[in-house]
Every structure is written in structure tokens, then in C-alpha cells.
Amino acid sequence: MSKPTKLSGFPELLPAERVVEQLVVDTLRRTFELHGFAGVETRAVEPLDQLLRKGDTSKEVYVLRRLQETDASADSGMGLHFDLTVPFARYVLENAGKLEFPFRRFQIQKVWRGERPQDGRYREFTQADIDVIGRDTLPFHHDVEVTRVMLDALRRLARPDVVGLPGFRLQVNNRKLIQGFYAGLGLTDVDEVMRLVDKLDKVPAARVREMLVADAGATPEQADACLELASIRSDDDGLVAQVRALGVSHDLLDEGLAELGDLMRACAPLADEHVRITADLSIARGLDYYTGTVFETRLDGYESMGSICSGGRYDALASDGRTTYPGVGISLGVSRVLVPLISRGVVVGSRSVPSAVLVALTDEESRPASDAVADALRARGIPCEVAATAAKFGKQIRYAERRGIPFVWFPGTPGDDDGVPARDQVKDIRSGNQVDADPHAWTPSEQDLRPQVLRPHDETSPRTTDLQEKTP
């Protein structure tokens, strides 16, 4: 068999890289559970008519078809889901009679998207979603709740003592605010105005102004007012005064402005040196089902990747014709954040295996004794493995070193000539320190117990000392 060719857009991680992903996923899961969100998993396949509800997404959907099917159209009614929102809406409708509302859910799962692979965009990737769904009504305070939960999760991901990813800036806006502003200006094609303004992060403002006049029917003065609104940024509720200063009035504008101001005040205490929240009135989100709060998030130092965490309020995404299930949610592109950081060497796992201890092997006859030590350590939650072969201890230490295992355990080290009995010893191969140890009592430090995320080029990242190869 010839060497296989890598498939573009389908990232695969090496063990030390996978450590980073697992720590991120575990941190997200624990944070979401701390806030009372229940975990769900939906099937990978959905009917195409459901997947295409978002609009022109046909090019993104991978259609499911059996290889041996002679009728080419037999299985064309199903496709792999390209996000987790549409499957979740279907899940709610199917299980509404078994769920308690408001229903808080998190979902961390693979999705598939048939787009052109590029930095931060893949054909197969992991997303982490949180949503709160109500029955018929959903109070605005849940918009605040979802924002605070994601801020908490991002803070933990950015803290050096947790995961240590670069910082984040969560940008928020409110569709009611911008729709009311455009209506107050007298613009009639509000949806087209939002669609064009949403291009500002990719298209120069002068070009957007031209399109507002040519495609949305705005006068030059109305286009200027739209761009002036979109230029407003604020890290607190000072945005209210800035919008009022533009002299536009409308009931929907008032409602959106009040909601955004409330959200900024409620979330301000969670901002720190790792995560900030900013009201950014240029954000509209292109999907037409958003009806209120909208989110986008940038990764510090990697803003060119675009938004890596987005979502918003949707009041009519799920409905069975009798009951409507409004919701608010936000989705973090786990792979979109991690794969570029890993490929650039910004983050890496501290070791390629979960083992904190390698139990050395004197000879093959002593393997049962080494196995017994490993069992005693595992019984107390300490990941370990027994050496693969009874090589010289120096080689066994180098085996541990190559895998990043910090400790080597030597069972039954001989005593001295004064009648001291044989004893076990454990060696920290980074410092060379070797001490007597009991497998029923010894415990490594919390930092050594599980693999950690390192930032090799960051001066604040924890460093390991030079590994030493001294035999016991």
C-alpha cells in the first residue's frame, strides 16, 4: 500500500495535540454543567429539507448515499449536519413532551461542511454549542445568561492555570437596535441594509456605502448614518448615549438599546485581562432568523481568522405549527480555534500520553511485581504504565522522557548492607530527585497528575527543567 495522501479540510491531531483538544472540551463541559446545562448529542444525519432551512446552504451539505445503491436518488434526502443548531431545533420538536422548559442544553460534537478549506475553516470540525429554549416565550434575561456562561467558559480557556489559550473579545449587538435605527431613518429594505453592513469586516466602508445606495435604496445621507451607527464601539453601557446622539427614534430601536445596555451592565463584572466584552454595532449576523441579541468573538492576535464563536437570539427557529420554541444560543468553533494554534506551535500538550508514571521493569520475571505497583497507583487515580521491555534503566528512563512521563518508579530497590529491607523508589526524571515511595500513599503534584497545555514561546508558560538520565 502506498503512503496515503492527506485530505484537505479534515484535521487529525497527534497525541500531544489531542491533549490540548481534550482539555479544552473538558473545560467547556465542566463550565456548562456548573451553570446547569444538560449535555445532549444528536445524530449526524438530518433530512435535507431541514438542513436547507437556513437558506442557500446547499453547497455546504454533504449528501448521504449508499455506495451500492443503483437508484442515485434513493438516499439523496439525507445529509450530514453542518452545524448543531438545526439538529437541535429538530430535537426539541421531537422531544418537547419529555423536556422541561426553559431547556438548557450544551452539545459538543463533530459537524461537516463542504466549503473550501483554509486557515480556521475545515470540512470536518468540532463545535461546542449552548442554548436556552423556551415554550412560546423566553424572557430576555436568558440572553444575559447565555452571554455570561460563554464569557465564563472563555475566561477559563484563556487562564494560564487552566488551558492558557490567547485571550478573547466577545462582541455583541442587538438586531432590534439596528433594525429600529434603519426603520427610524426611513429605510424600507431593512434586511438588505443589515446584510450589507455585515460585510464591513471584509469590505471597505466606502464600498459598503456605495452598495447601500445602489442595492438597498438608501440616500447618501442615510448610508452615512448607517455607517456612523456601525462605527460605535463601547466596553460598557455608554453606547446608549452614543446612539441617542445620532438623533434617530423608533420603538424597536428603544427596545434593542435597552436590552443591549442591560446585557453590557450584567456582563461587565466577568470581563478581565483574558476576556473582554464589547458592544460592536457593526455586527448584524447574516442569517435571517436572528431577532435580538447577536454575538461574534475574536481571538486575540488572530483576528484575521474572523469570528470563532457566534450566535444570537432566535424567536421562531423551531415551531410545530401550534407551539413556538424561541431560544438564544452561542456556538464556539473548537477546531477553528485550536487547529491554527496547534499548527503554529502556540499550544502543545505537556506529554503525548496520559501516564504520569512509568513503572520500571528489572526483568521479565518481575513483571507481576511491576504490574502490582501500577495497579496500586491506578486504584488511586494515578495514570501509569509498565515498561514495555526490561531494558537497562537508562533506556527505560529515556523511554519515559520521549513521552513526557515525569516519573519513573523502581519496584523493590535493594537495601543497604545494614539490613535495610528492599524498598520502592520513585524518580523525578526532570530534576533527578529520587526518593523512597509507597504506591499506596505517594501522589504526584496536581500539575503532573494530568497532561497540561504548554505555550512554548510564552515566557509565562510553565517550563520543564532539563531531563536527566541518571540511573538509580
**Please, what are the domains in the chain?**
15-348 (3.30.930.10), 351-454 (3.40.50.800)
385 pairs with which residues across the strands?
358
pLDDT of 313-370, one tens digit each? 999 878 888 999 999 999 999 999 999 999 999 999 999 999 999 999 999 999 999 9
Q: Note the Cα 364 to chain centre separation in Å.
A: 45
Degrees to nearest 5, angle at CA 241 with 303 and 197: 40
Closest of 311, 320, 328 to residue 83, by C-alpha: 311
Please give the pLDDT value at position 465: 35
Closest of 237, 186, 246 to residue 216, by C-alpha: 186
C-alpha cell at 285: 449576523
Cβ proximity of 336 and 168 under 8 Å: no
Please give the pLDDT value at position 414: 55
Please give the pLDDT value at position 469: 34
| Low-confidence stretches of the chain (pLDDT beneath 70) | 1, 54-59, 68-76, 286-288, 413-421, 458-472
Rounded to two decimals, what is the model's pTM?
A: 0.89
pLDDT of 150-170, one tens digit each? 999 999 999 998 899 999 999
Please give the pLDDT value at position 471: 34
- Three-state DSSP state, 302: coil
Residues 258 and 252: their CA atoms lie apart, in Å, by 10
Please give the pLDDT value at position 316: 84
Residues 331 and 107: their CA atoms lie apart, in Å, by 9
Please give the pLDDT value at position 318: 85
C-alpha cell at 372: 502490582
pLDDT of 223-268, one tens digit each? 999 999 999 999 988 899 999 999 999 999 999 999 999 999 999 9
Please give the pLDDT value at position 314: 92
For residue 388, give Cα distances in angstroms to 360, 397, 399. Answer: 9, 12, 9
80 pairs with which residues across the strands?
45
Degrees to nearest 5, angle at CA 86 with 82 and 91: 125
Please give the pLDDT value at position 4: 85
Please give the pLDDT value at position 463: 42
